[in-house]
Amino acid sequence: MESRGRFRRVGLFEVGNTLLMLAVCFITLYPMWFVFINSLNAPERALLGTINWFPEAWSLDSYRVVFNDKNLMNGFYITTLRTVIGTAAHVLFTAIVAYGMSRSNLIGRKFYMRIALITMLFSGGLIPTFLLMTKLGLYDNFWVFVIPGMYTFFNMVIFMSFFRTIPESLEESAKVDGASDYGVLFRIVLPNSMAVIATISLFSAVYHWNDYYQGVIYIRTQDLLPLQTMLYKIIAENSMSFMQQQAMAQFGARLPGNSIKFASMMVATLPILAFYPFIQRYLVKGVMIGAIKG
């Protein structure tokens, strides 16, 4: 196909299609670029919100306010913490359950699978789940970010089918050498499953980093709010954190809310943007595994 294509006449369709694809790229990238330049723009310029390509007057004032805002920085810390702990807990717990389930000699395997499958078809929904969290003492508790997200059926199935592809001879020889089931899992199976672990970890990490909704529903204490929930409050509810109000009073109209919003958005999304080029192929791989299974 490739070599033949080179000699083919470049038609109107090719030109139009290429232009369309370039337009798609532009529409996708420009919003992020817009946030970036306006976070760096001098605050009085950012207020105007005009369409532009480069900052008209460079300034780091907005970032200074964001990084000096104790609340936002605490939010950054909570988000980082829940991303690390939440992801580790999810991958470890789901992988261990999946390994047990993948053993063909597991007694009660059919019964366990049926229990797991039903959770796919039916669920309690928002209110019963909320009441349960309250009764378990997870309301306004950091662990609400971790424990309810420790397991998903979908990822369990992905792990399970991956573990099945690992040659049994590897596990057999370890068993002969006297390794326990846990020994086999941690010394043979998991080290041979790095690709699937990477994919599932990334999905889990992106989820934890981006989620604002759990924080809206379950968290009341300011000190436990993740960064994205704070951003939600700043953007959608137009509430300013205390430090920002002080900064506003100090700088007056020179530092309007808009540029601070852009700077906080940039800080909140920079980790995703920075890692994206390196992790995107794992993410796509994850979807492909999921699609084949589903």
Partner 1 sequence: MSQHRSGQMKAFFRQWQVQSMVIPGIVWMFVFCYIPMFWLIIAFMDYSIAKPMLQSPLVGLKHFEDFAADDRFWRSIRNTLGMSAIKLALGFPIPILFALLLNEIRSLRFKRAVQTISYLPHFIAWTIFGGILLNWLGEGGVMNQLMMALGIQDREILYNSDPQYFWWIVYFSDVLKETGWSAIIYIAAIAGIDPALYEAAELDGANRWQRMWHITIQCIRPTIAILFILAVSGMLGSNFEQIFMLKNNMNMRMAESLDLYIYNMGLVSGRHSFSTAVLFARSVVALGLLLLANYTSKKLSGESIF
Q: Does 231 bind partner 1 (CB under 8 A)?
A: yes
Q: Scanning residues 164 to 203, which ones bind partner 1 (CB under 8 A)?
A: 180-182, 185
Q: Minimal CA–CA distance to 231: which of 255, 247, 211?
A: 211
User: What's 141's DSSP letter?
Assistant: -
Instruction: Name which of 3 and 249 has its Cβ closer to partner 1.
Output: 3
Count of residues binding partner 1 (CB under 8 A)?
86
Long-range contacts of 89-93 (CB under 8 A, 24+ apart): 89/146, 89/147, 89/149, 89/150, 90/149, 90/150, 90/151, 90/152, 90/155, 90/200, 90/204, 91/197, 91/200, 91/201, 91/204, 93/150, 93/151
> Are 276 and 65 contacting, i.e. CB atoms less than 8 angstroms apart?
no
Q: Scanning residues 250 to 269, which ones bind partner 1 (CB under 8 A)?
A: 258, 261, 265, 268-269
Quick one: which segment of 54-62, 169-177, 190-198, 230-238 binds partner 1 (CB under 8 A)?
230-238
Instruction: Name which of 66 and 268 has its Cβ closer to partner 1.
Output: 268
Quick one: which segment of 166-174, 187-195, 228-236, 244-252 binds partner 1 (CB under 8 A)?
228-236
Q: How far apart are CA 106 and CA 163, in angstroms?
A: 14
Q: What helix, strand, coil percent values describe the chain, rounded to 5?
A: 80, 0, 20
Q: How far is the CB of 249 from partner 1 (least distance, A)?
A: 23
Instruction: Name which of 192 and 210 has its Cβ closer to partner 1.
Output: 210
Instruction: Name which of 249 and 286 has its Cβ closer to partner 1.
Output: 286
Q: Scanning residues 14 to 33, which ones bind partner 1 (CB under 8 A)?
A: 14, 17-18, 20-21, 24-25, 27-29, 31-32
Q: How far is the CB of 180 from partner 1 (least distance, A)?
A: 6
Instruction: Name which of 1 and 249 has its Cβ closer to partner 1.
Output: 1
Q: Does 249 bind partner 1 (CB under 8 A)?
A: no
In this chain, which of 80, 88, 143, 148 binds partner 1, going by CB under 8 A? 148
* 41 SS3 class: strand
Q: Scanning residues 96 to 135, which ones bind partner 1 (CB under 8 A)?
A: 96-97, 99-101, 103, 105-108, 112, 115-116, 118-119, 122-132, 134
User: What's 59's DSSP letter?
Assistant: -
User: What's 185's DSSP letter?
Assistant: I
User: What's 177's DSSP letter?
Assistant: T
